[in-house]
Amino acid sequence: MICAFFDAQRKGVSVTRPIEKMRTTTQILEGVASGIVDPDEAIEALHMNNRAELLNALADRHLPPPKPPKEQVEAELAAAMPLLLRMEAAIRGS
């Protein structure tokens, strides 16, 4: 989310960060849980000390922890697939 914001800024596109429109703690935490708000931005905006406090606040409201960015998930999956395929081939070959 943050990368997209800075990429747009470099291209000269005016971008409003989603957190700027949020006024309550609940709005910010729901934004984090849905992936709209960057966890680090939420920690700063809510005057928290670390991610543990953020995770506790999410849990207190029965919200899921933040999901990693889609790009990160895709990169990790791409890195893991060759190993998983080798493991599958080894299991089938035995």
Which is more confidently placed, 14 or 93?
Answer: 93
Q: Would residue 91 count as lying in a domain?
A: no
Residue 50 within a domain? yes
- What total number of domains does the chain contain? 1
Give Cβ neighbours of residue 23 (< 8 Å, ≥ 6 apart).
none
Q: Give the DSSP letter of residue 35.
A: T
| Tokens 């960015």, residue located | 69
Task: Supply the range of the domain harboring residue 58.
Answer: 2-66
Asked whether residue 13 is assigned to any structural domain, the reply reads yes
26 in Cβ contact with 46 (< 8 Å): no
Q: Is residue 48 part of a domain?
A: yes
- Residue 28 CA to chain centroid, in angstroms? 13
The predicted-structure confidence for 33-92, as pLDDT tens digits, reads as follows 988 888 999 999 999 999 999 999 999 999 999 888 788 899 999 999 999 999 999 999
Domain-located, residue 85: no
Per-residue pLDDT band for 1 (boundaries 50, 70, 90) equals very low
The letter for the amino acid at 42 is A
pLDDT given at position 11: 60
Higher pLDDT, 19 or 62: 62
CA 27: distance to chain centroid? Answer: 16
pTM of the predicted model, to two decimals? 0.59
Domain-located, residue 94: no
- Measure Cα distances from 20 to 54, 61, 74 in Å: 18, 21, 28
Which tokens sit at 25?
């703690």
Question: Would you state the pLDDT for residue 64?
Answer: 95
Residue 7 lies in a domain: yes
- Looking at the domain assignment, is residue 37 inside a domain? yes
